[in-house]
Structure 1
Amino acid sequence: MFGTFRAEQSAQVALLRDIFGNPFRPVAFSPSWRTSTTVALASQMYESRDFSAMPILADALQDAGCNSAEVLDHCRGPGPHVRGCWVVDLVLDKE
């Protein structure tokens, strides 16, 4: 029973990190990273709820000049990634 609780707790923490990031280390996001490619990728993932292109978004952000390890590592990380992902929301300029 304790193992099931721990697994559920870990899954919930992972979802919260995907949505809110690290509240103690906010990330500065440059508007110049919002290129037609990054916005198109983020929009497609947001609408379809299929976040399998997150590593491709990381590449596109890097091509746009993003050098934020937190942003790039999050995109390339295992996830889970869900609608409301803080990086996707930043690219789409959602508040």
Structure 2
Amino acid sequence: MWVAAVEVEKRDQADTLRDIFGNTFRPVSLSPSWRTDTAVALATQMYEAREFSTMPILADALQDAGCDSADILEHCRSKGPHVRGCWVVDLVLGKE
């Protein structure tokens, strides 16, 4: 039982790291034209509230703005976890 709990914890930590750093072997950039008022407002709200249930809506806003990056859209539409420091939210907000 303890071993299973450790494995679950390891998986959860790895998922969180992927949310923060993305795929470091395949960097993604965000076109400035995708930073619409709607996308920035959604990202700001998620960042400040630390509540990421609107990530799929952010994907829709980015796609409406012309985003065609499968990495970005798939990440936004994934079930997560998503945390403050999420690489997509940080890209939209212009954080490094």
TM-score category, normalised to shorter length: over 0.9
Unpaired segments of 5 or more residues in structure 2?
Answer: none
Which one-letter code corresponds to 1:11 in the other structure? D
Q: Are 2:92 and 1:94 equivalent residues in the alignment?
A: no
Counterpart position of 2:17: 16
Amino acid at match of 2:39: T
Structure 2 residue aligned with 1:28: 29
Output one character per residue of 1:25-55: Cα deviation in whole Å (capped at 9) or x when no partner.
1012111110000000000000111100000
Relative to the length of structure 1, the TM-score reads: 0.98
User: Number of aligned pairs?
Assistant: 95
Specify every segment of 5 or more residues in structure 1 that has no aligned partner in the other structure, as ranges: none
Partner amino acid, structure 2, of 1:42: A
Partner Cα separation in structure 1 for residue 30 and residue 53 of structure 2: 22
Q: Which consecutive aligned stretches of 4+ in structure 1 deviate over 6 angstroms post-superposition?
A: none
Q: Is the Cα–Cα contact under 8 Å of residues 43 and 92 in structure 2 kept in the other structure?
A: yes
Q: How far apart are residue 89 of structure 1 and its match?
A: 0.2
Report the Cα offset of residue 60 of structure 1: 0.1
**Within 2, Cα distance between the matches of 1:61 and 1:24?**
23
TM-score normalized by the length of structure 2: 0.97
Q: Deviations over 1:53-89 (max 9, x none)?
A: 0000000000000000000000000101000000000
Q: What amino acid maps onto 2:87 in structure 1?
A: W
